[in-house]
Amino acid sequence: MGEPDDLVERCRRGDPEALEELVQQHGPAILRLLARYVGDLGRAEELFQETWLRVKSGLKRFRGEAELGTWVYRIALNLARDDRRRQGRQLDWRRAATESIVASPVEQLARSEQLERLQRAVDELPEPQREALVLSKLEGMTYRQMAQLTGAPEGTLRSRVHWAMAALRRQLGELGEA
């Protein structure tokens, strides 16, 4: 998530090109994270725009205590957490399935019943464990990156991921898939 210092400085000065560079650099991963987190692409896109509005408005307050990328991720993650809390835990699978009609990669997911069941099982995990699993296994973050992002100790995050893995294994095992 690291960026050159001059990008950070230019962003803080409000240099439009630097801000755009920041969006280009982190945007795809953040949108993906939001889509995975909230389970609704349309909503993820809305949160994505809100993330950058907050980044823009808050840049001057950014003191460099974390890396700029981590800070942006944290804003996105907080928005996604709030949204999920507001929406309740149930994802709208019917809508996700409808969207998958046009989204070829997601369409593949929808076609794969096994992966869909896995996705559903992930969604049913308790929130802290689900978040840790999404960041670790689906977003490929290290425990250190996760700790920087969430503020939780690495050991806690590791045990959340392990707990989630064991729960998934048990659930998929009951379905005869693991």
Q: List contacts with another protein (CB under 8 A).
A: 14, 16, 19-20, 22-24, 27-28, 31-32, 35-36, 41-42, 44-46, 48-53, 55-57, 59-61, 94, 97-99, 101-106, 108-109, 112, 114-115, 118-119, 122, 126, 133, 137-140, 158-159, 161-163, 165-170, 172-173, 177-178
Tell me, letter by letter, the H, E, C secondary structure of 107-149: HHHHHCHHHHHHHHHHHCCCHHHHHHHHHHHHCCCCHHHHHHH
The CB-of-66 to another protein minimum distance in angstroms stands at: 20
**CA separation for the pair 28, 7 (Å, rounded):** 18
Whichever of 2 and 173 has its CB closer to another protein, that residue is 173
The CB-of-138 to another protein minimum distance in angstroms stands at: 5
The CB-of-93 to another protein minimum distance in angstroms stands at: 11
Whichever of 152 and 172 has its CB closer to another protein, that residue is 172
**CA separation for the pair 75, 168 (Å, rounded):** 28
**CA separation for the pair 142, 154 (Å, rounded):** 9
User: How far lies 111's CA from each of 92, 103, 105, 136, 156, in Å?
Assistant: 17, 12, 10, 24, 35
The CB-of-14 to another protein minimum distance in angstroms stands at: 4
Whichever of 5 and 101 has its CB closer to another protein, that residue is 101
The CB-of-49 to another protein minimum distance in angstroms stands at: 4
